[in-house]
Amino acid sequence: MSNIACFVEKYNFTDPREEGALQRFKVAAEKQGSEFHFLFREDISEIPKYDAVFIRATTDPLNAAYVVSKTAWELGLKVIDDPESITICGNKIHQYALFEKYNVPRIPTMFLDKEELHHKKISEIFDTLGKPVVIKAPYTSFSRYVEKAACETSFRDVAKRFFRKSDALAIQKFTPTAYDWRVGVLNNDVLYVCKYMIPKGKWKHGAKLRGKPTVIWGRTVSLKKREMPRMLSEVALKACSVVGKGLYGVDIKEVNGDFVVVEVNDNPSIYAGYEDSSDHDIYKRIITYLSE
Amino acid sequence: MTVLVVSNIDLPIKLRVMKPVTFLDSTINEPTLNLNNEYRYLKTGYYVSMHAEILGNRVIPSCENIIDSSRTPVFLLRAAKAGVPTLPVVVTDSVKKIIKELGFPVLLFAINPFIYGGYKVAHNKSALYRAMKSLGMNYKFAVCAQPLKGELAAVKSYFGKAVNQDPNTEKIVQKVYEIFRIPLCKLYIQKTVGKAYLCALQPVTKEELSEQDLKIISKEVSLISEQGEPFGV
């Protein structure tokens, strides 16, 4: 029996599928005899009253979710997402440097520092990775701040915009696929598996229609985790092992039979009727992990 | 022991000092002193520490301490746990909550990805609304509020040393360095009769560093380079 705080912001309740998932977490907790309360940013001072904190609001080392995570951590509470996972997943440069260090199979990636934005370096990038390339700001989430560039002019254009906030960027080989695998991992164990389909004619899961601000999302196809390819689960677990022991959503592409990691996300989306539709026990397992 | 000094500041010393951009392209395995006037997250000062950590080097400051010291509620929680005097903190985007729990005057710091310096003091309700609107970026983000009980001072800290300060302040500055190991920074400290309270840590600008300051910094860097003291060697 445990008293769990679920840190949320108002926007977590705007999508009925996400609200549905939050309710399922609450039901799963209560079934186990635990209490499950929503904690909003006004209630940060109440963290010491709880045994565990589960963060569902968007995380970043610079926002309130980090303050919640680190406060809980300092007080010795169990917390998802823990501060270190937020730090590593919130900065893709940090994450890719770790993948490089520990040999995690990944999409070919190069780093670009602000002072290196010149013709020679850009040519070197195109020579190594081909054209187009994908430029990624380190703080990307929900497919935002990830753009494609096929020539030096558009490369400079995108890079200059992303350099406003970060002094380093990640550049990746453009690897179009019909879908990205999304593997949910908790404490070094696979929790669920999905295919995030890429919308037709687009190259990322969440894409903007030309000239419009609205984002269209590809379908989510859920699979039973026992049916997933063994190599897929091995690659997903290897990628998570360099990040931590929390809850992650690993994006993986299948290229010519090989599985390569796109990125590991903390705070993965869990929507009722989507990620949970093949393996229904995900709520129970996360709650159990928090109450242990 | 050799300590690698990576600095964006020109120091009047004869030591080997590497520019951040050179270090970021290197794979040098040595204890690393990352000297920068600002350690803002996602800026070069942060990436130098990150690169050193990935290489497996002991580094001052660590990424964790860079982030925590810039998030005022976390900074104060960790400092208070280590015995540094602080005042109660309220994290909120609600004016009413601040008035109810703290009253006036009140001292406010931003907690959002866009504002990394400055503060506001509010003596009444309308000033508080204005301050919250500006620091919370139109009430979108929460702010960190503390009661203002005395006089607020900005104290420059160089390796935990402050110039011409009272003993209470000096003690706080030294303790904060022991906990967070931020070589150069500015601490906001409230002073009342016989007491001092830590309020926040912010970066110093290069313009704020006088020649006298650079001399003190150089002396400290030389000492670390010779003794390797904060690296525990």
Contact flag A41-B112 (C-beta cutoff 8 Å): no
Q: Which of B152, B156, B135 is nearest to B204 (CA)?
A: B156
Contacts of A71 in chain B (CB under 8 A): 73-74, 77
In chain B, which residues have their Cβ closer than 8 Å to the Cβ of A74?
74, 77-78, 81
The CATH number covering residue B137 comes to 3.30.1490
Q: Which residue has the tokens 């998030």?
A: B71
Q: Where do we find the tokens 């919308």?
A: A199
Q: How distant is the Cα of A71 from the closest Cα of chain B, in angstroms?
A: 6
A38 and A4 Cβ atoms separated by less than 8 Å: no
Amino acid at the residue A164: R
Chain A residue with Cα closest to B76: A71
Q: Is the pLDDT of residue A142 over 90?
A: no
In a domain, B160, yes or no: no
> What residue in B sits closest to A61 (Cα-Cα)?
B67
B168-197 pLDDT tens trace:
999 999 999 999 999 999 999 999 999 999
- What's the longest Cα–Cα distance across chain A? 62
CB contact under 8 A, A91 and B141: no
Q: Phi and psi dihedrals of A163, rounded to 5?
A: -70, -15
**Encoded tokens for B115:** 């504002």
* B9, two tokens: 């500041």
Q: How far apart are CA A251 and CA A179, in angstroms?
A: 10
Q: What is the pLDDT of residues A32-48, one digit of tens each?
A: 999 999 999 989 999 99
Mean pLDDT of all residues belonging to chain B: 93
| Chain B residue nearest residue A169, CA to CA | B42
Query: How large is the average pLDDT for residues A261-279?
Result: 92
Nearest CA in chain B to A99: B54
Measured CA to CA in angstroms, residue A70 lies from A51, A83, A86, A111, A138 at distances of 14, 6, 10, 29, 21
The span from the first CA to the last CA of chain B, in angstroms, equals 8
A202 touches chain B (CB under 8 A): no
Q: What is the mean pLDDT of residues B189-209?
A: 95
- What are the angstrom distances between the C-alpha of B147 and each of A147, A208, B131, B138, B144? 45, 46, 14, 22, 10
Domains within chain A, CATH numbers bracketed: 3-81 (3.40.50.2300), 108-173 (3.30.1490.20), 176-266 (3.30.470.20)
Distance CA B105, CA B56 (A): 46
Number of residues in chain B: 233
Residue B69 inside a domain? The answer is no
Report pLDDT digits (tens) over A195-243: 999 888 788 887 777 777 777 788 898 999 999 999 999 999 999 999 9
Amino acid residing at A266 = D
pLDDT by residue (tens digit) across A78-129?
A: 999 999 999 999 999 999 999 999 999 999 999 999 999 999 999 999 999 9
Q: Is the pLDDT of residue A177 over 90?
A: yes
State the best of B19, B42, B115 to mutate against chain A, taking most chain A CBs within 10 Å: B42
Is the residue at B228 inside a domain? Answer: no
Contact A62 B71 (CB under 8 A): yes
Q: Check: CB of residue B143 under 8 Å from CB of residue B132.
A: yes
A140 interaction partners in chain B (CB closer than 8 Å): none
The average pLDDT across A155-162 equals: 95
Whether B215 contacts chain A with CB within 8 A: no
Q: Do B142 and A83 touch (CB under 8 A)?
A: no
Give the pLDDT score at A201: 77
- Tell me which residue of A8, A20, A6 sits closest to A78, measured CA to CA: A6
pTM of the model: 0.94
Q: Could you tell me if A268 lies within 8 Å of chain B, comparing CB atoms?
A: no
Nearest to A67 among B51, B71, B90 (CB): B71
Assess if residue B113 is contained within a domain.
yes
In this prediction, residue A212 carries a pLDDT of: 73
Non-local CB neighbours of B225 within 8 Å, separated by 6+ positions: B2, B3, B5, B15, B33
Q: What does the pLDDT look like over B139-156, one tens digit per residue?
A: 999 999 999 999 999 999
Identity of the residue in B51, B73, B93 whose CB atom sits nearest the CB atom of A67: B73
Q: What is the mean pLDDT of residues B109-130?
A: 94
Say how far apart CA B50 and CA B5 lie, in whole Å. Answer: 15
**From the CA of B211, how many Å to the nearest CA of chain A?**
28
pLDDT in tens, B85-110: 999 999 999 999 999 999 999 999 99
Domain assignment present for B99: yes
A4-19 mean pLDDT: 95
Question: How is chain B classified by DSSP, letter by letter?
Answer: ---EEEESS--SS-S-EE-HHHHHT----S-EEEE-S---TTSHHHHHHHHHHHTT--EES-HHHHHHHHSHHHHHHHHHHTT--B---EEES-HHHHHHHT-SSEEEEE-SSS--S--EEESSHHHHHHHHHHHTTTTTS-EEEEE--SEEEEEEEETTB-SS--HHHHHHHHHHHHHH--SEEEEEEEEETTEEEEEEEEPPPGGG--HHHHHHHHHHHHHHHHH-GGGT-
Q: How far apart are CA B19 and CA B14, in angstroms?
A: 15
Domain assignment of residue B137, yes or no: yes
The count of domains in chain B is 1
Percent of chain A with pLDDT over 90: 85
Count of Cβ atoms closer than 10 Å to residue B58 Cβ: 17
Question: Which of A58, A68, A70 best tests the B interface by mutation, with the highest count of B CBs <10 A?
Answer: A70
Tens digits of residue pLDDT in B8-59: 999 888 888 999 999 999 999 999 999 999 999 999 999 999 999 999 999 9
* CB-based contact, B82 to chain A, within 8 Å: no
Of A42, A64, A101, the CB nearest to B111: A64
Q: Measure Cα distances from A11 to A16, A18, A179, B96, B220 in Å.
A: 11, 10, 27, 22, 48
Query: Is B201 in contact with B182 (CB distance < 8 Å)?
Result: yes
In chain A, residues with a C-beta closer than 8 Å to the C-beta of B92 are 41-42, 44
Q: Which domain holds residue B135?
A: 90-147
What is the predicted pLDDT for the residue at B163? Answer: 87
pLDDT given for residue B228 in this prediction: 75
What 3 state SS string does chain A have? CCEEEEECCHHHHCCHHHHHHHHHHHHHHHHCCCEEEEECHHHHHHHHHCCEEEECCCCCCCCHHHHHHHHHHHCCCEEECCHHHHHHHCCHHHHHHHHHHCCCCECCEEEEEHHHCCHHHHHHHHHHHCCCEEEECCCCCCCCCEEEECCHHHHHHHHHHHHCCCCEEEEEECCCCCEEEEEEEECCEEEEEEEEECCCCCCCCEEECCCCCCEEECCEEEECHHHCCHHHHHHHHHHHHCCCCCEEEEEEEEECCEEEEEEEEECCCCCCCCCCCCCCCHHHHHHHHHHC
Query: What is the structure's pLDDT at B232?
Result: 58
Alpha carbon distances (Å) from B137 to A240, B74, B93, B112: 35, 21, 10, 9
User: Under a CB-based contact definition with an 8 Å cutoff, are residues B3 and B224 in contact?
Assistant: yes
pLDDT for B128 = 97
Among B91, B98, B180, the residue to mutate for chain A (most A Cβ within 10 A): B91
Position B233 scores a pLDDT of: 43
Instruction: Tell me if chain A has a CB within 8 Å of the CB of B94.
Output: yes
Tokens of A217: 């999302």
- Inspect the interface and report whether the beta carbons of A74 and B47 lie closer than 8 Å: no
What would the mean pLDDT of A245-269 be, rounded to a whole number? 96
> Is B166 inside a domain boundary?
no
Calculate how close chain B gets to A140, using CA atoms only, in Å: 13
Stretch A171-182: mean pLDDT, rounded? 94
Choice between A211 and A184, residue whose per-residue pLDDT is larger = A184
Q: Is B139 on the interface with A (CB under 8 A)?
A: no
Q: A110 touching B, CB under 8 A?
A: no
DSSP-derived pairing of the beta strands B32-35 and B4-7? parallel
Q: What confidence score (pLDDT) does residue B1 get?
A: 67
| Residue B116 located in a structural domain | yes
**Residue B141 at interface with chain A, using a CB cutoff of 8 Å:** yes
